Structure 1
Amino acid sequence: MKSKQKNLFLFLTFLWIFSCKESSSSSNDSLLALIPLLGASANATLCPKSLTLPSDTFLANTVVSASANVSGFSDPSKAINGVCGAGELAGSLDVYALERTGAGATIILSWGGRTVKNVTDSIDFIVYDNSFRISGDSNTYAMDPSVIQVSLDGSKYCGFNPSYTAGNINLIANWQKFGGLRPVYYNMTTNPLSNEDLFISTGGNFLLGGGDGFDLDDLDPNDPNDVNCDTTTANDIKATGFKFIKITSASNVTNHADGTNKFPWPPGSYNGSDIDGVVARDLQ
C-alpha cells in the first residue's frame, strides 16, 4: 500500500475497534498497538496512576445514577476517577460508556454535596469525553455528542438548548452547546494541568486541556427537553450554582428543531457518549 492508503487503513481499523468497544483483551491490545501508529501518545495503562484525585482540581466525585451496560466500559467509577485524555488523534479508554437510548443513556454526577459556582463572565465547568480528529480538517471529529443539564435540587434540571445543523455529522461547527465534541488533552499522568490551566481558552471554543466548556449564564429555561425547568429555576441556578449534572447521549434526546426525531448519531459507534470526567471552575 502507499503510505497514505496505509495510514487510512490503520485509521479505519482503529475507528472500528474503538467504536465497537470490544471487551476482549485481543481487541484492546490491537487498539493500543494502533494508537502510536496514528501519532497518539496515550498509554491507557498509565492513567490514572493514583486512586487519590488531585485536591486542587474540582472533579465531580460522586456517581448519583448510572445504569449503562456497555461491555468493557460499564464501570461508572471511570467517570469520576480522573481525566485521562489521549490527545488530538485518539480517545481515552478510561471512560464510562453510556448507551445510545433508554435509561442507560444518562449518567448523573455530583461533587459530593458541594455546589458548582457561577463565576462571572467565565466558563463554569468542563465535560470530558473522548472525541478525536479524523481528518486534516481541524473541525472534523469522531464525536459522542451529549446533552448537558444541571440541577440544584436533583429534580429540576435546566439545560443549554443545544442545536444541530444538518450536514456533515462529523463537522464540529454543526453541533452547538453539546458535550462530547472536542478532544481531551488533559491527562492526569502524561499532561497534568492545574484547575486554572484547564479553563484557559486557546481559541475557537477550544480549551488548553480540551473538553467542552459551559457557562451557567447560558442556561436556557426554554429548552424543551428540560425537566421542570422554568425561568425562576434557571435564575436560581445562575445565582446560586448547581449540585448535580446530568449527561445524556444526544441520540436519546429529541431534536425539537426537527419535529419529534432524536438528534442524529455519528455512524460506526455502537454505544452512546463516553464520559471521562467533569471539572468545575470553583466550588462552595
Structure 2
Amino acid sequence: MKTNPLFLLSFLICLWTFSCKPSASSSDETLAALIPLLGASANANVCPKSPLPSDILLANTIVSAEANVSGFSDPNKAINGVCGAGELVGSLDVYALEISGSGASMILSWGGRTVKNVPDSIDFIVYDNSFRVSGDTNTYAMDPSVIQVSLDGSKYCGFNPSYTAGNINLMTNWLKFGGLRPVYYNMTTNPLSNEDLFIVTGGTFLLGGGDGFDLQNLDENDPNDVNCDATAVSDIQTTGFKFIKITSASNVINHADGTNKFPWPPGSYNGSDIDGVVARELQ
C-alpha cells in the first residue's frame, strides 16, 4: 500500500518535534530540512542492503547496548549497514543512545577481529546522522559522541575531545568527536567501496561522510578514559583494537571547564544516533 506523501510529511514533521534532532535555526530552515526526510524515508525502505556488501568492514557485533529510545531502540540498526541521506537530512535507520546514564553508551566489535593501525591513514569511521541546517556550511544539527577504543575490553583509550564553547551547532567548535559530519554513503542509493569511504575530499570531510579517526591520535592523557595509560595506547597503536565504545557527549565530563558535561542541543530528547562504524583494515 502506498503512503500518501502529505500524510508522510505531516508524520515526519511530528516526528521531528520529538525526534533525534532538535531545531537549531529558524522555523523556515527547520521546515526546509524536514522536506528531504521524504527522500530519507524512501531510502530507508531499500537500505540497508541484504546481504551486506562483503567488502565493507562494518562493526558487526553488539557487545553492550542499553538505550531504549522510543522509535529508535533497535541496536541492530548500528550494525546492519550505513544508510546516509546526504548533506541536508539525517538517516532514520539508526540506534539512538540516551542523553545520560548507562544507556548513553554502546560498545561494538568486529566479532573478534582486530582493527589495524594503518600508517598515515584514518583507521575507522563513525557514522551518525548529522545534517546541515542553514546556508552556513559549518552549521549542523549534530549529535557529538565521545569515541574510545580497546584491545582487551577493559582498557579504553580515547582522543581527548574538546568543545571550544560558542555556537553549539558550529562544527569547528567541536574537536575529535563523532557525530559531527553528515553521511553521504548509502549502501543502496550511493554505493561506495571500502577504499572509497576513506578518501578525503577536502578539509576534514570524507567521500562517504562520517567522522574519521586515526589511532596515532590516541591520547593517554584523556581524563575520561578507563584504565588507559601509555602502555595501553602503545599496545593499541601497535596491535590495533577490537572494541569501540561510543558515548553521547552529554554524558561525558568536559574537563576544560572542570565540572560540567559537554553541552547538548536544547530540547533534544535523546543522545547520539549510531548508523554504523567501518574499519579501514582488519586482521
1:264-279 alignment runs, 5 A limit:
264-279=263-278
Aligned partners of 1:110 and 1:245 also within 8 Å: yes
Change beyond 3 A, Cα 1:19–1:282:
farther
Specify the alignment match of 2:213 in structure 1. Answer: 214
RMSD value, Cα: 2.0
Q: Secondary structure at the match of 2:16?
A: helix
CA distance in 2 between counterparts of 1:53 and 1:188 reads 8
Aligned partners of 1:250 and 1:264 also within 8 Å: yes
Specify the alignment match of 1:18 in structure 2. Answer: 16
Q: Secondary structure at the match of 2:247?
A: strand
CA distance in 2 between counterparts of 1:154 and 1:110 reads 10
TM-superposed CA distance for 1:41, in Å, is: 4.1
TM-score under structure 1 length normalisation = 0.88
TM-superposed CA distance for 1:260, in Å, is: 1.0
Change beyond 3 A, Cα 1:49–1:36:
farther
Specify the alignment match of 2:197 in structure 1. Answer: 198
CA distance in 2 between counterparts of 1:37 and 1:266 reads 21
CA distance in 2 between counterparts of 1:40 and 1:119 reads 39
CA distance in 2 between counterparts of 1:282 and 1:112 reads 14
Specify the alignment match of 1:100 in structure 2. Answer: 99
The superposition leaves residues 104-163 of structure 1 with CA deviations (integer Å, 9 ceiling, x where unpaired) of: 000000000000000000000000000000000000000000000000000000000000
1:37 aligns with 2:35: yes
TM-superposed CA distance for 1:20, in Å, is: 1.8
The superposition leaves residues 244-266 of structure 1 with CA deviations (integer Å, 9 ceiling, x where unpaired) of: 00000000000000111000001
Specify the alignment match of 2:156 in structure 1. Answer: 157
Unpaired segments ≥5 residues, structure 2: 1-8, 21-30
1:8-157 alignment runs, 5 A limit:
17-18=15-16, 20-21=18-19, 37-38=35-36, 41-42=39-40, 43=42, 44-50=44-50, 52-157=51-156
Change beyond 3 A, Cα 1:249–1:180:
same
TM-superposed CA distance for 1:37, in Å, is: 3.1
TM-score under structure 2 length normalisation = 0.88
Change beyond 3 A, Cα 1:256–1:198:
same
TM-superposed CA distance for 1:15, in Å, is: 7.4
TM-superposed CA distance for 1:268, in Å, is: 3.0
Change beyond 3 A, Cα 1:224–1:189:
same
Aligned partners of 2:108 and 2:243 also within 8 Å: yes
CA distance in 2 between counterparts of 1:230 and 1:220 reads 9
Q: Secondary structure at the match of 1:201?
A: coil
Aligned partners of 1:19 and 1:270 also within 8 Å: no
TM-superposed CA distance for 1:34, in Å, is: 7.8
The superposition leaves residues 77-101 of structure 1 with CA deviations (integer Å, 9 ceiling, x where unpaired) of: 0000000001001000000000000
The structure 1 segments of at least 4 consecutive aligned residues displaced by more than 6 Å after TM superposition are: 13-16, 33-36
TM-superposed CA distance for 1:55, in Å, is: 1.1
Change beyond 3 A, Cα 1:200–1:210:
same
1:280 aligns with 2:279: yes
Among the aligned pairs, what percent are the same residue?
A: 79
TM-superposed CA distance for 1:36, in Å, is: 7.7
Change beyond 3 A, Cα 1:15–1:101:
farther
Aligned partners of 2:49 and 2:81 also within 8 Å: no
